């Protein structure tokens, strides 16, 4: 997979695009005016691995809250604003790190100029967020809800910013339809080299939305597109972070800890593999180490995978054959498998860190 080269843009203490790692972002679902609730959700998200966080700014009170929220968090903070340029100006004044606003929707060019000139002064990027659900009427009449329509809308907003000599632009083209989203990003990325914020919008509840997001975001990433990722789920935004991390880890784009392999089990399996796999996954969920662990049910495919992993187990009759770095170490009884794997992981970590 070759990542398409895009412009590198600073966003608070991070970068988006260019050679910077593909970042994970999310959006709070608290009332932004409730500073305590918003800050505490941002902290939970940061702990889960969120790298950029966005808040909705529906009114001046929310724009005012930005100052205090910023004071209490360390993640780059993005203000999501629709239409009202005064909210954008207030957020800039209060230290926001990035704006999500569509210049074509602000109205009068003088208003756009004011926002752009303040953003320039503070080196703040602007994300143009085109959404299939809110395309301009004239574009829908011309193209219908199509990839061309999404791209035409984005290019219109880009043109407004470029005419003001502003180029710290990030773009998203979102639709809840996976194919439409993919085609739109593909079309746009052939036209511009601004970094892309990717995601499937309104993807649904955690189960359905995870599948849709994995297909959509995964396809884009495999095609070399995407500089920052937002998984949109109806539910706790912490789930969005977990899903985004797993998508990036599955594609070997980023490493967030243990790479966990387990077989689906079949009639050959003679141990309670599901229970073992869950237990091991649980025990190692906080481990931030690049280790591959394979938990396999039997001697058919088991030894192959277990041998390839750093640590592996291939099940037998109420027991398992323990592998480390391709070598069989010993056979352990079923009730000792979890502890044996954890012991080997601990030993391996000691090796990594030179006994410290
Ligand atoms: Fe079945 Fe063995 Fe394959 Fe697991 S590893 S699915 S138990 S054949």
| Residue 275 and residue 302 share a domain | yes
| Residue 301 and residue 215 share a domain | no
pLDDT range class, residue 356, cuts 50, 70, 90? very low
So what's the pLDDT on residue 353? 66
Please check whether residue 318 lies inside any domain of the structure.
yes
Distance from residue 258's CA to the centre of ligand 1 (Å): 21
Quick check: pTM over 0.85?
Answer: yes
Please check whether residue 198 lies inside any domain of the structure.
yes
Per the DSSP assignment, residues forming a β-bridge with 296 are 314
Residue with the smallest CA separation from ligand 1 atom 2 is 298
Rg value, the chain, Cα: 24
So what's the pLDDT on residue 138? 95
Please check whether residue 292 lies inside any domain of the structure.
yes
| Residue 275 and residue 218 share a domain | no
| Residue 314 and residue 165 share a domain | no
Scan for tokens 């410290």, then name that residue: 356
Please check whether residue 4 lies inside any domain of the structure.
no
Rounded average pLDDT over 186-207: 94
So what's the pLDDT on residue 20? 97
Rounded average pLDDT over 223-236: 96
| Residue 77 and residue 39 share a domain | yes
What are the tens digits of pLDDT across the range 290-339?
Answer: 899 999 999 887 788 888 899 999 999 999 999 999 899 999 999 999 99
3-state secondary structure of 22: coil
So what's the pLDDT on residue 104? 86
Mark which of 190, 216, 250 sits at the end of a domain: 250
Contacts of 162 (CB under 8 A, 6+ apart): none
CATH of the domain at 342: 3.30.413.10
What are the tens digits of pLDDT across the range 137-181?
Answer: 999 999 999 999 999 999 999 999 999 999 999 999 988 899 999
Please check whether residue 45 lies inside any domain of the structure.
yes
What are the tens digits of pLDDT across the range 39-88?
Answer: 999 999 999 999 999 999 999 999 999 999 999 999 999 999 998 999 99
| Residue 19 and residue 91 share a domain | yes
| Residue 278 and residue 218 share a domain | no
Residue 194 gets which letter from DSSP?
Answer: S
Please check whether residue 75 lies inside any domain of the structure.
yes
| Residue 341 and residue 309 share a domain | yes
DSSP-derived pairing of the beta strands 319-324 and 327-333: antiparallel
Contacts of 74 (CB under 8 A, 6+ apart): 13, 46
| Residue 290 and residue 324 share a domain | yes
Distance from residue 209's CA to the centre of ligand 1 (Å): 29
Residue 320 CB–ligand 1 contact under 6 Å: no
Mark which of 215, 250, 285 sits at the end of a domain: 250
Rounded-to-integer distance, Cα 97 and Cα 40, Å: 19
Contacts of 302 (CB under 8 A, 6+ apart): 263, 296, 312, 313, 314, 315, 321
| Residue 291 and residue 154 share a domain | no
| Residue 300 and residue 232 share a domain | no
| Residue 23 and residue 120 share a domain | yes
How many C-alpha atoms does 129 have within 13 Å on its Cβ side? 22
- Range of 241's domain? 9-250
- Domains: count for the chain: 2
CATH of the domain at 156: 3.20.20.20
Please check whether residue 2 lies inside any domain of the structure.
no
Please check whether residue 51 lies inside any domain of the structure.
yes
Helices 35-48, 237-250: inter-axial angle, 10-degree rounding: 20
| CA-269 nearest atom, ligand 1 | 7
Mark which of 197, 229, 250 sits at the end of a domain: 250
Residue 190: exposure state from Cβ atoms within 10 A (0-12, 13-18, ≥19):
exposed
Distance from residue 268's CA to the centre of ligand 1 (Å): 6
Helices and strands counted in the chain (H then E): 12, 15
């Amino acid at each position: 997979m070759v990542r398409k080269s895009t412009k590198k843009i600073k966003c608070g203490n991070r970068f988006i695009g260019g050679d910077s790692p593909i970042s994970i972002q999310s959006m709070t679902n608290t009332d932004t005016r409730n500073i305590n609730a918003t800050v505490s959700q941002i902290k939970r998200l940061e702990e889960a691995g969120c790298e950029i966080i966005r808040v909705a700014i529906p009114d001046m009170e929310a724009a005012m809250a930005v100052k205090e929220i910023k004071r209490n968090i360390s993640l780059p903070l993005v203000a999501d604003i629709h239409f009202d340029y005064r909210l954008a100006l207030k957020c800039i004044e209060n230290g926001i790190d990035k704006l999500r606003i569509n210049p074509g929707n602000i109205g009068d060019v003088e208003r756009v100029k004011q926002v752009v000139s303040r953003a320039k002064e503070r080196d703040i990027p602007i994300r143009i967020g085109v959404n299939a659900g809110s395309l301009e009427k004239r574009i829908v009449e011309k193209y219908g809800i199509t990839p061309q329509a999404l791209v035409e809308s984005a290019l219109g907003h880009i043109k407004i910013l470029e005419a003001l000599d502003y180029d710290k632009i990030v773009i998203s083209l979102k639709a809840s339809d996976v194919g439409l989203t993919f085609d739109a990003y593909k079309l746009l990325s052939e036209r511009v080299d601004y970094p892309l914020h990717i995601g499937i919008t309104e993807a649904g509840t955690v189960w359905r939305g995870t599948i849709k997001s994995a297909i959509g975001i995964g396809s884009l990433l495999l095609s070399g597109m995407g500089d920052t990722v937002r998984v949109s789920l109806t539910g706790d935004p912490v789930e969005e972070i977990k899903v985004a991390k797993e998508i990036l880890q599955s594609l070997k784009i980023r490493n967030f800890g243990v790479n966990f392999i387990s077989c689906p089990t079949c009639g050959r399996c003679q141990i309670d593999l599901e229970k073992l796999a869950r237990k091991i996954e649980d025990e190692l969920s906080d481990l931030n180490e690049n280790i591959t662990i394979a938990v396999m049910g039997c001697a058919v495919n088991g030894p192959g995978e277990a041998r390839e992993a750093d640590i592996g187990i291939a099940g037998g009759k109420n027991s398992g054959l323990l592998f480390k770095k391709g070598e069989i170490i010993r056979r352990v009884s079923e009730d000792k498998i979890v502890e044996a794997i954890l012991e080997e992981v601990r030993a391996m970590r000691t090796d990594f860190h030179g006994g410290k």
